[in-house]
Chain A
Amino acid sequence: GIQVEQSPPDLILQEGANSTLRCNFSDSVNNLQWFHQNPWGQLINLFYIPSGTKQNGRLSATTVATERYSLLYISSSQTTDSGVYFCAVPSNFGNEKLTFGTGTRLTIIP
Chain B
Amino acid sequence: DAGVTQSPTHLIKTRGQQVTLRCSPKSGHDTVSWYQQALGQGPQFIFQYYEEEERQRGNFPDRFSGHQFPNYSSELNVNALLLGDSALYLCASSRLGLAGYNEQFFGPGTRLTVL
Task: Please give the residue numbers on chain A whose beta carbons come within 8 Å of chain B beta carbons, in ascending order.
Answer: 30-31, 33, 35, 40-43, 45, 48, 86, 88, 90-91, 94-103
Residues of chain B whose beta carbon lies under 8 Å from any beta carbon of chain A? 31, 33, 35, 37, 41-45, 48, 50, 55-56, 58, 88, 90, 92, 94, 96-97, 100-106, 108-109, 111
Cβ contact of B100, chosen from A95, A100, A103, cutoff 8 A: A95
Contacts of A43 in B (CB 8 A): 43, 90, 106
Whether the pair B101, A97 counts as a contact (CB closer than 8 A) is no
Contact A96 B55 (CB under 8 A): yes
Cα–Cα distance between A33 and B104 once the two chains are bound (Å): 8
Contact residues of A: prevailing secondary structure: loop
| Bound CA–CA A78/B86 (angstroms) | 32
Which chain A residue has the least Cβ–Cβ distance from B43?
A100
Q: In this complex, what residue of A is CB-closest to B30?
A: A95
Q: Is there contact, CB below 8 Å, between B94 and A95?
A: yes
